[in-house]
Chains A and B, each alone.
Chain A
Amino acid sequence: LAKTTQPISMDSYEGQEVNITCSHNNIATNDYITWYQQFPSQGPRFIIQGYKTKVTNEVASLFIPADRKSSTLSLPRVSLSDTAVYYCLVGGGIMEYGNKLVFGAGTILRVKS
């Protein structure tokens, strides 16, 4: 299983862009990168998933360099409601992906007014 390393916490202000970087040096060829968001007392919520280059959806963008040893979750113009824990997960193989994902400690993002 690919181990991930994320900052423990980050602070930002409303309206700023926030970039959270995750290191996964031993990512395997068939691993995907997935980010989840978790609010207090709730289950994690899927944000975005990618394999290489850049993926964008209505919530965030995910940047993955060519060597895939890291990835960056970008949240544009954050608001107070984006205060949450963000998890970076790396999973093995399309067929095995669902059962191989491991959650680390995540990054606590605090957005201030």
Chain B
Amino acid sequence: NAGVTQTPKFRILKIGQSMTLQCAQDMNHNYMYWYRQDPGMGLKLIYYSVGAGITDKGEVPNGYNVSRSTTEDFPLRLELAAPSQTSVYFCASSYSGTGLKYFGPGTRLTVL
């Protein structure tokens, strides 16, 4: 069981560039989430999904898009990168109806 995997681990973007952060889980979890964590702060929910084909906004969705075509994958898209999106991004998954979330190792993104 690999758990929750994220790629890439690190990335530097220029302002205005776009990229996709990949997230996959092999635990057959229905729920998947994207969080961002700024230095010294707690995690903020960007988007979440309760199953394939179903996504919804979290606290800070502006500037991001998601899709969930399969149970396993939940990519996060940044269309026009801005310095304010410099952060560490964590993907997580959970079994429906519980609060137990498994987190990935994170992607450290810098926008210059």
> Within 8 Å of chain B (Cβ to Cβ): is A59?
no
Chain A residues engaging chain B, CB cutoff 8 angstroms: 32, 34, 36, 41-46, 49, 87, 89, 91, 94-95, 97-99, 101-106
Task: Give the interface segment out of B12-20, B40-48, B70-78, B79-87.
Answer: B40-48
Q: How far is the CA of A95 from the CA of B31 in the complex (A)?
A: 11
Q: Which residue of A lies closest to B56 (CB)?
A: A99
Q: How far is the CA of A91 from the CA of B101 in the complex (A)?
A: 12
Chain B residues with Cβ below 8 Å from A44 are 43, 90, 101, 103
Q: How far is the CA of A44 from the CA of B44 in the complex (A)?
A: 13
Q: How far is the CA of A88 from the CA of B63 in the complex (A)?
A: 28
Would you call B35 and A98 a contact (CB within 8 A)?
no
Chain A residues with Cβ below 8 Å from B43 are 44, 103
Number of interface residues, chain B, beta carbon within 8 A: 29
Would you call A99 and B99 a contact (CB within 8 A)?
no
Decide yes or no: A94 and B100 within 8 Å by CB, A103-B44, A104-B42 being known contacts. Answer: no
User: Closest approach, in angstroms, between the C-beta of B8 and any C-beta of chain A?
Assistant: 15
Q: List 9 A-B contacts (CB under 8 A).
A: A32-B99, A43-B90, A43-B103, A49-B99, A89-B99, A94-B97, A97-B97, A99-B56, A99-B58
Decide yes or no: A98 and B106 within 8 Å by CB, A103-B42, A105-B42 being known contacts. Answer: no
Q: Which residue of B lies closest to A93 (CB)?
A: B97
- What's the dominant secondary structure at chain B's contact region? strand
Chain B residues engaging chain A, CB cutoff 8 angstroms: 4, 31, 33, 35, 40-45, 48, 50, 56, 58-59, 90, 92, 94, 96-106
Q: Which residue of A lies closest to B92 (CB)?
A: A43
Of B4, B94, B104, which contacts A98 at CB under 8 A? Answer: B94
Of B48, B50, B98, B103, which contacts A45 at CB under 8 A? Answer: B103
Would you call A91 and B42 a contact (CB within 8 A)?
no
Would you call B99 and A106 a contact (CB within 8 A)?
no
Q: How far is the CA of A42 from the CA of B99 in the complex (A)?
A: 19
Chain A residues with Cβ below 8 Å from B92 are 43
